[in-house]
Structure 1
Amino acid sequence: MAKTSIITGSSSGIGRESAIALSKAGWNVVLTARRADALHETASLCESSENCMVLAGDVTDETFVKTLFSETMARFGRVDLLFNNAGVNSPAVPFEELTLETFQNVISVNLVGPFLCAREAVRVFKNQTPMGGRVINNGSLSAHTPRPNSAPYTASKHAMTGLSKCLALDGRAFDITCTQLDIGNAATALTARMEKGVLQPDGRRMAESTFDVAHVAAAVVHIAALPADVAVPHFTIMASKAPFAGRG
């Protein structure tokens, strides 16, 4: 029987590549994001339409998240993996120019959404047979070291670390594991700007190295396939020349 995964933010980038890779590895994949047309494009790239379900919506909407999991259970009968991938950033502006709306939006998508999805996943994991499941949370190098003018995003990713640790601890007795996947400069539409130069802590603008997002997808498939008695609390994957320690 195929295992079932839910991938948030699977309309593009890391989420899309991970969904395609999981599908090719034989997983059922449930694709969710806000853009239905892009989700259907992802579905067309997956291995089989029979093992793929699309459900468009907003992961910060509690009602939608509950529907996401109930419809997944109705279609596939269980959930084995939640990849909390959906996330947003905000323009890099001086701290004093940040608006409350901007800060709250980043926290809502990057932290509240993953909380809501993880809560529903845990409810399913505890009550299905066999019991258990795996959560992979998309962290960031910014969960460890900030970029200049990145307070909303950096705060959300530091908070993700706390959420991931709590999931790992509270899920331990129920065969629930949690991995924080910290990614640095995977080549997607969001990192294209890095070729033109990114602001560094010393005030310079420097082009930064990126790497093929397919390697992130391969890491997701690898972690997802591990048995329940193997946990990977932290997994960092990054361009080998990307500034990380000290951020350059």
Structure 2
Amino acid sequence: MNDFHNKVIWITGASSGIGEAMAYELARRGALLILSARRADVLEAVKSRCERPDRHLVLPMDMTDHSRFREQTAAVLSTYGHIDMLVNNAGVSQRALVKDTPVEVDRQIMELDFFGPVALTKVVLPHMLARGSGHLVAVSSVVGLVATPYRSAYASAKHAIIGFHDALRAEVHDAGLRVSVLCPGFVRTNVSLSALTADGTPHGKVDAQQDKAMSAEAFARKAVDGLARGKGRIVIAGKERLAVYLGRLSPALLERLVRKVSVV
């Protein structure tokens, strides 16, 4: 999908951060967007800032409520007739040690970061298979490749979403579909504000690493360029991407370095 002009692209988690920035970038390149997140009023504000706002659809949704996915997908198809790309971006991060975190909080993170995207993908997939075209995209993380302290459930979900999409990519290759996973490093967003602590409440502050990271706009440009080229795994990060390469070359050395890394 080198040309995004008039392509129908559904973005979850579109109300802020990476999802919002990707919405602006894709709209600038001529896409027709479905903007989803929980809050309709915030999505309407994002829509109003997109180029050609009258051509985009606001579709509020809760990614943990799988029972409505078929209805919501039907609403998209009723409006646009087809879906060219699904960008599963909605999710929540974590700031808590394993020893302090009850399994209920682990489940909460897995539900939003893994099972929600998987469930929506399974609803959209038959439509794309029937058309013989489409691009399924998930936003994972560098933490989905290199797990760090304070991110145990988050890293687990992001590792899992990569594994799911790697398998899916192999399955649908001959059907004409593309499957991509975006792996951002630190991006300057409010993701740490809503990250869950051990008791399930928001972290409520911007981490130092987030505050000095690349902008969401810069990430979105690189991400959309990578998707245009049809790349399967797209790592976009600063110096933290070196950890990905180190993990391949010397897992033992990476293991020692991860113990000392500052992640909060």
> How does the TM-score come out when normalised to structure 1?
0.86
The match for 1:124 is 127
1:96 equivalenced with 2:99 (yes/no)? yes
Q: Is the 8 A contact 2:109 2:153 kept in 1?
A: yes
Residue 135 of structure 2 aligns to a residue whose secondary structure is: strand
1:183 equivalenced with 2:184 (yes/no)? yes
* Shift of residue 59, structure 1, vs aligned partner: 1.6
- Shift in CA distance, 241/113, structure 1 to aligned 2, threshold 3 Å: closer
The match for 2:115 is 112
* Equivalent runs, 1:45-56 vs 2, <5 Å: 45-56=49-60
* Equivalent runs, 1:1-248 vs 2, <5 Å: 2-92=6-96, 94-128=97-131, 131-190=132-191, 193-195=206-208, 209-226=212-229, 231-240=230-239, 244=243, 245=246, 246=254, 247=258, 248=261
User: Quick one: distance in 1 between partners of 2:44 and 2:54?
Assistant: 13
The match for 2:201 is none
Residue 193 of structure 1 aligns to a residue whose secondary structure is: coil
Query: Any unmatched runs of 5+ in structure 2?
Result: 193-204, 247-253
* Shift of residue 153, structure 1, vs aligned partner: 0.3
Task: Answer with 112-121 or 24-33: which moved more.
Answer: 112-121
* Percent of aligned positions that are identical: 24
User: Quick one: distance in 2 between partners of 1:193 and 1:12?
Assistant: 14
Residue 14 of structure 1 aligns to a residue whose secondary structure is: helix
Q: Is the 8 A contact 2:14 2:36 kept in 1?
A: yes
Query: Any unmatched runs of 5+ in structure 1?
Result: 198-206
What is the total number of aligned residue pairs between the two structures? 231
* Shift of residue 242, structure 1, vs aligned partner: 7.1
The list of structure 1 runs, each at least 4 consecutive aligned residues, that deviate by more than 3 angstroms after superposition, is 223-226, 240-248
Residue 136 of structure 1 aligns to a residue whose secondary structure is: strand
CA root-mean-square deviation: 2.0
Deviations 1:215-247 (A, max 9, x none): 221133224434xxxx41211001236773534
Q: Is the 8 A contact 1:89 1:153 kept in 2?
A: yes
Q: Is the 8 A contact 1:125 1:176 kept in 2?
A: yes
Q: Is the 8 A contact 2:235 2:241 kept in 1?
A: no
- Shift in CA distance, 125/234, structure 1 to aligned 2, threshold 3 Å: same
Which AA in structure 2 matches 1:17? A
Deviations 1:69-100 (A, max 9, x none): 111111111111111100112332x3122112
Which AA in structure 1 matches 2:234? F
Q: Is the 8 A contact 1:161 1:180 kept in 2?
A: yes
Q: Is the 8 A contact 2:223 2:234 kept in 1?
A: no
Q: Is the 8 A contact 2:33 2:57 kept in 1?
A: yes
